[in-house]
Structure 1
Amino acid sequence: MRTIWIYAAFVLGVPVIGGAIGLITLPGAWYAGLAKPWFTPPNWLFGPMWTTLYLLIGWVGARKWLHGGSVGLWWAQMALNFLWSPVFFGMQQPMAALVVIMAMWLVILGFIGREWRGDRLSAALFIPYLAWVSLATALNAGIVVLN
């Protein structure tokens, strides 16, 4: 029963916290006025994509909490993830946000690398996350260059 509660806490907690941060730091007129790279996805895609990724991240977090492994890297990527929106949208600091997201990308990659042998499922579940953060990093960099 304890396992179910841990999975529930992580799988529900991560998207709820991420969603709350997203609501607090909604893109507004400032973001709409920025020049963006040609490969910017449509705005409607970000919510469903992050919700899906947060569910996967939460699942992996529960696995790490229960079974060990790269728990520190999991928490580090989560902290950086939750920091990015307030820096980019809240503080309107794309360059500082680029530093945050590059650090997050490295931590996610490090997590995948460290978990690949010991918990391949957790590592594999982070691959879509790495792909999306790669795109987000390129978008962030493009905004820095274009603005």
Structure 2
Amino acid sequence: MWAYTVGFTVLPHVGGFLGWFLNRKEIPAWYEKLKKPSWCPSRKMFPVAWTVLYTGMGYASYLVWSDLGGCSSKAIVPLGLYGAQLALNWAWPPFFFGAQNLNMALIDILCLDGLAIGTLCSWYRINRVAALLLVPYLGWLAMATCLTIRIWRDNPEQKAGKRE
């Protein structure tokens, strides 16, 4: 059973790592030139925060999966919401850093917010610990959404993405 625990806990890190790896060259070159608010966290904070958040949400997904008896019909909605929000989470860095498309990054994170809230609400009835493990993630998403909105607003020349 430990293999399932590890697998579910590691899964969110896979997309997070790939997003960083594929976009790592764009981060210092492009991101540093953007106008950002004074409350923007240091770049050094992001990998630490995401490591903690991905670990918590991955373990929480294991708890829900386990409580629902695996991939049963009861798991379709709660784990489907989780999978959809995770996909949008993984899509944000390629939109923001890769395509440098602030419009798509903003649309992505607003949809992500809704799915993450839906995930927490659906998990609360199944496993309250799992739902509570998502609370820090929702807090960080709220900050990231506000940051994305501010960067989108303050950098109008970057809204449509890279220009050839």
Q: Tell me the residue number matched to 1:32.
A: 32
> Residue 5 of structure 1 aligns to which amino acid in structure 2?
A
Higher helix fraction (1 or 2): 1
Q: Percent identity?
A: 32
Residues 60 and 133, structure 2, Cα contact 8 Å, conserved in 1: yes
Q: Tell me the residue number matched to 1:19.
A: 17
Displacement of 1:21 in angstroms is 1.7
Q: How many residue pairs align between the two structures?
A: 145
In 1, Cα distance between equivalents of 2:105 and 2:60: 25
Paired residue for 1:119, among 121, 127, 132?
A: 127
In 2, Cα distance between equivalents of 1:114 and 1:12: 22
Name which of structure 1's ranges 56-65 and 44-53 shifts more when overlaid on structure 2. 56-65
In structure 1, runs of 5+ residues without a counterpart are none
Residues 67 and 126, structure 2, Cα contact 8 Å, conserved in 1: no
Which aligned runs of 4 or more in structure 1 are off by greater than 3 angstroms?
none
In structure 2, runs of 5+ residues without a counterpart are 69-74, 156-164
- Which protein has the larger Cα radius of gyration, Structure 1 or Structure 2? 2
TM-score (norm. length: structure 2) = 0.83
TM-score (norm. length: structure 1) = 0.92
